[in-house]
Structure 1
Amino acid sequence: MVTNTVAIFFVLAFSVIVSLWLEKRFKTFKKLGAGAIAILIGIALSNSGFLPGDSVAYDFLMTQGVSASIVLILLSVDIKSIKAAGPTMLKAFLLGAVGSALGAMTMSMILANQIGNEAYKLAGQFTGTYVGGGMNFAALGRAFNTSSDLFTAGIAADVIITAIWLVVCLAAPVLLTRNSSDEISADTPMPKDNSYTIEKSLYRSDGSMKIIHVAVLVTVVFGTIWISEALGRLLPFLPEILWLTTFVLLTAQIPYIKNIAGGAMLGNYLLLLFLASNGAKSVVANIVAVGPAVFYFAMGTIAIHGIFLFGVGYLLRIDAGTLAVASQANVGGSSSALALASARGYTDKILPGIAVGLLGYAVGNYLGLAVGNIMQAFL
């Protein structure tokens, strides 16, 4: 068994390389995503006895490490870009966010006995991840101090449900729209989008990084984490993650910060290391025991989200295509919204979908914290 802390970091780093290679090389793994693959590799390494189930390396990545990744990724969010969403897409996105919150609250009450005293944590985390994507799940898990087994089961359930829901949203506009003339046909040219989105920035840098840029990013990371931790201790009624998110979003609007390339890519790498370490801390027997209830939790949350979004959206006469893109912005983030809009040929919905996806990244933590705290008091 590897017990040296530096050696453990090496194994985790190599696991991330393998995860990224598998995601790029094989279609099956691409559907899973590098994050889910990293978790599975971590689980395999620890449960086979190669890595320990506990280490200071894991503790660092699950505290300051994941906080640093959140800072670096959120620095890519431009609040002004949200204006591109337009009122209809924004309205659909907000309906989806409310549906996710209602779904998570409902499922936490239904499954409270099966999941136990951490049900309120899942309510907050699934609200966050189904408002703005999986990054919020990690951030809220840090805020609620969710156990590794429950966290990993939640990630696994999220991967499965998100994939199924993408298929549903691809079919929904065809099934729910009587006049399907606006749907993409076999000979319809696919839209070309060359914009540099946050999803692209997670995997590559748009331009070279200079040492001054690295120095600024490192300073912002250390400063933001230090200030948010200090304020979290000084004002304990407001969680640290709330301060962290707020300060990062404000800092991200500084013109000089906006022009720094590579921050989101570095943040994504730290996030993958964190996910690998979370897998290494997980015991398979415990995940299997808690898994079915967590899967039902995720499935029920998405079902209520969909019923509320498409039901109320229909009453408000919002077209099914807009509702589907908005739902993917909620559940999968900007990348899923972009994929669906492109696949369906909704050239007019690509930028609005990306914009509300960015909004989800920004507000998911806030709504998730609110729902989690409400359900903690209620359950």
Structure 2
Amino acid sequence: MAILSGWPFFIYLVNNITKIQGMLKIILLVVLYLLFPVIIIKMCQKWSLFKKIGSIVLAYGFGLLFGNLGILPSGSPNYLVACQERVAIPGPEMAVLIENGTLSADDRFVNQIRAVQDNITMIVIPLALPLLLFSLNIRKWLRHAKTGFLSMLLALVSVVIIIILAYIIFRDKVPDAGKVSGMLVGIYTGGTPNVASIKAALNVDSNLFLMTHTSDLVVGAFVIIFIITLGPRVFGLFLPKYKYLESNGDSESLIAEAESMEDYSRLVGKGAGINILKALGVAAAVFAVSGGISLMVPSSYQMMVVILLITTLGLGASLIPAINRIKNSFQLGMYFILIFSFVVSSMADLGMMMSIEYMNILLMVAFVVIGSLLLHLILSAIFRVNVDDFLITTTALVYSPPFVPVVAGALKNKEIIITGLTVGIIGFAIGNYIGIAMGQFLSGL
């Protein structure tokens, strides 16, 4: 009788074996996406070469390989046409297309994969953003801004002017040039977390996002080498020298804080689990409140409103001591950024990156990087900004705070580290506002 009673379940398994296999594959894919960054982190910890390359660059590289080596199915030509530039086809529409023979069961599986990829990217960024903001001590960083504020303002003005000019030049050559411009503002004010947030807010296509960010990585690699090697001598011909002052007593703690931003070993060990749960709980609450409020605006603006609200609430929460003191929330946020980088790059079509469109994006990015650097140099010469502040401000905005000590070491000037770190943190805090505003403004022209 026991065997007979289990017979219907066995029949169900036989009749639905294909669906069950598909579900298991989807579950394994999700697990891979969530845990693969651990492998990247271990690689960076064990080998200095990978540490120099950077965990985010590695995440992009492995994601591109995973998505373009035939491991993931790509779907039939009919499926790609039916998507109509959407990431995935809604379930009811997919069922109709399969029923009338336009698409196959294999296309359904491809659609499920793409939907999972899209859902992961749409979840990890709204969670990562507040986590990155919670631990920031805005008051402390502002106290140490020094002369860097003037250089930062000149850099921001330069970036905005050059990006508008780049949009005018490339708008007929680069798809969604307004959105690309918004992402470039994010890249040159706060870095990967900002550009990822702006991608979500402006609903940027994954291929376009990856082409833009990859172009920045290529151009940026040459620029940072120039800044470290020839930059001080070349820019010193036009700008006054730095006047040394006595370093502030807080400098060591600020430097240590910046250098620990990508220390993922803090996410394991005694008490780490409790801190992770606390940080995730508050981040989820910020996400939920922002999502609830966004329902009051038209659907086309909801994601943008969510990102702006999360940024604002995250900064506000950082002023609450109990939240600000939650340990390692920043590192947890960066882990989510690694997940995003791996997933979004696996969604990209490497073939499209070899197209003329990619070359135009590369030219646009190069124009923005070099143009904003030159305009910043001219304005700095007019306002008598010293060469060290100019270089450290450029580094902090174009790259990220962890690069600041590297450039300061090349300049043999420890005093400017505080200025660079402060500018980098402020740029990260305001990058979403400026980038989204720029993207919306230029897209509306």
TM-score, scaled to structure 2: 0.77
Distance 1:275 1:181, change over 3 A: closer
Residue in 1 aligned with 2:413? Answer: 346
Q: Which amino acid aligns with 2:344?
A: N
Report deviation, 1:47.
1.5
User: Which of 361, 370, 373 is 2:440 aligned to?
Assistant: 373
Q: Which amino acid aligns with 1:70?
A: L
Whether contact under 8 Å (2:242, 2:388) holds in the other structure is no
Query: Per-residue displacement from partner, 1:160-183 (whole Å, max 9, x unpaired)?
Result: 122222123223222232599879
Whether contact under 8 Å (2:180, 2:439) holds in the other structure is yes
Task: Within 5 Å, give how 1:351-370 maps onto structure 2.
Answer: 351-370=418-437
- In 2, the alpha carbon distance for the partners of 1:209 and 1:111 equals 51
Q: Which has the larger radius of gyration?
A: 2
Residue in 2 aligned with 1:227? Answer: 289
Residue in 2 aligned with 1:156? Answer: 214
Residue in 2 aligned with 1:249? Answer: 315
Partner of 2:188: helix, strand, or coil? helix
Q: Does structure 1 residue 167 correspond to structure 2 residue 225?
A: yes
**Bigger mean CA offset, 354-363 vs 19-28:** 19-28
**Bigger mean CA offset, 233-242 vs 204-213:** 204-213
Distance 1:293 1:23, change over 3 A: farther
Task: Within 5 Å, give how 1:78-89 maps onto structure 2.
Answer: 78-89=137-148
- In 1, the alpha carbon distance for the partners of 2:69 and 2:369 equals 34
- In 2, the alpha carbon distance for the partners of 1:64 and 1:374 equals 26
Residue in 1 aligned with 2:56? Answer: 35
Residue in 1 aligned with 2:329? Answer: 263
Report deviation, 1:358.
0.4
Residue in 1 aligned with 2:126? Answer: 67
User: Which of 5, 13, 26 is 1:5 aligned to?
Assistant: 26
Residue in 2 aligned with 1:146? Answer: 204
- In 2, the alpha carbon distance for the partners of 1:220 and 1:87 equals 33
Count of equivalent residues: 370
Report deviation, 1:310.
0.9
Whether contact under 8 Å (1:2, 1:50) holds in the other structure is no
Residue in 2 aligned with 1:110? Answer: 169
- In 1, the alpha carbon distance for the partners of 2:405 and 2:154 equals 19
- In 2, the alpha carbon distance for the partners of 1:31 and 1:211 equals 29
Residue in 2 aligned with 1:47? Answer: 68
- In 1, the alpha carbon distance for the partners of 2:271 and 2:330 equals 12
Partner of 1:317: helix, strand, or coil? coil
Whether contact under 8 Å (2:232, 2:387) holds in the other structure is yes
Query: Per-residue displacement from partner, 1:273-308 (whole Å, max 9, x unpaired)?
Result: 111111111111112223211211211111121111
Whether contact under 8 Å (1:85, 1:353) holds in the other structure is no
Distance 1:217 1:14, change over 3 A: closer
Whether contact under 8 Å (2:128, 2:336) holds in the other structure is yes
- In 2, the alpha carbon distance for the partners of 1:181 and 1:239 equals 44
Query: Per-residue displacement from partner, 1:90-121 (whole Å, max 9, x unpaired)?
Result: 110111112122222222221112212x1111
Q: Which amino acid aligns with 2:225?
A: V
Whether contact under 8 Å (1:125, 1:141) holds in the other structure is yes
User: Which of 280, 293, 296 is 1:218 aligned to?
Assistant: 280
Q: Which amino acid aligns with 1:283?
A: D
Q: Does structure 1 residue 202 correspond to structure 2 residue 262?
A: yes
- In 2, the alpha carbon distance for the partners of 1:158 and 1:234 equals 36
User: Which of 381, 401, 406 is 1:334 aligned to?
Assistant: 401
User: Which of 332, 345, 350 is 1:284 aligned to?
Assistant: 350
Residue in 1 aligned with 2:79? Answer: none
Q: Which amino acid aligns with 2:391?
A: A
Q: Does structure 1 residue 127 correspond to structure 2 residue 185?
A: yes
Distance 1:15 1:284, change over 3 A: same
- In 2, the alpha carbon distance for the partners of 1:291 and 1:85 equals 40
- In 1, the alpha carbon distance for the partners of 2:333 and 2:22 equals 26
Q: Which amino acid aligns with 2:160?
A: A
Distance 1:217 1:9, change over 3 A: same
Report deviation, 1:367.
0.7
Q: Which amino acid aligns with 2:219?
A: I
- CA-based RMSD of the aligned residues comes to 2.6
Q: Which amino acid aligns with 2:262?
A: L
Q: Which amino acid aligns with 1:50?
A: I
User: Which of the pair has the greater relative contact order for Cα pairs under 8 Å at 6+ separation?
Assistant: 1
Whether contact under 8 Å (1:203, 1:268) holds in the other structure is no
Partner of 1:295: helix, strand, or coil? helix
Q: Does structure 1 residue 19 correspond to structure 2 residue 40?
A: yes
Q: Does structure 1 residue 306 correspond to structure 2 residue 373?
A: yes
- Point out where structure 1 has 5 or more consecutive residues left out of the alignment: 185-191
